[in-house]
């Protein structure tokens, strides 16, 4: 689960760097508006990448992991409608 999110984050940040570097290294020679558009797209990628990297997936079970206190875990399981086996 963490490897998938980390891989997606690094792919998005890599795309951001490629867009920015290519925009100002050779695309600006062909079209200045295209280079500016590429930089604007590159500007939006880092916050989106951070949101994706920090998003919890359905397989992340941090909220219902046992706390170690059997009485407390029993009480929470009863509230959640779960039966401990």
Report the alpha-carbon distance of residue 85 to residue 75 in Å, rounded: 14
Where are the chain's structural domains?
2-60
Mean of per-residue pLDDT scores for the chain: 85
Q: What is the pTM of this model?
A: 0.64
pLDDT digits (tens, 9 = 90+) for 15-47: 999 999 999 999 999 999 999 999 999 999 999
Say yes or no to pLDDT of 56 above 90: no
Share of the chain above pLDDT 70, in %: 84
Say yes or no to pLDDT of 85 above 60: no
């Amino acid at each position: 689960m963490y490897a998938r999110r980390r891989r997606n984050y690094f792919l998005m940040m890599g795309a951001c760097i490629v867009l920015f570097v290519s925009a100002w290294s050779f695309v600006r020679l062909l079209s200045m508006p295209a280079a500016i558009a590429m930089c604007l797209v590159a500007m939006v990628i880092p916050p989106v990448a951070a949101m994706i990297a920090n998003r919890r997936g359905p397989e992340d079970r941090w909220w219902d992991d046992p706390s170690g206190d059997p009485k407390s875990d029993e009480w929470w399981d009863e509230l959640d409608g779960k039966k401990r086996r």
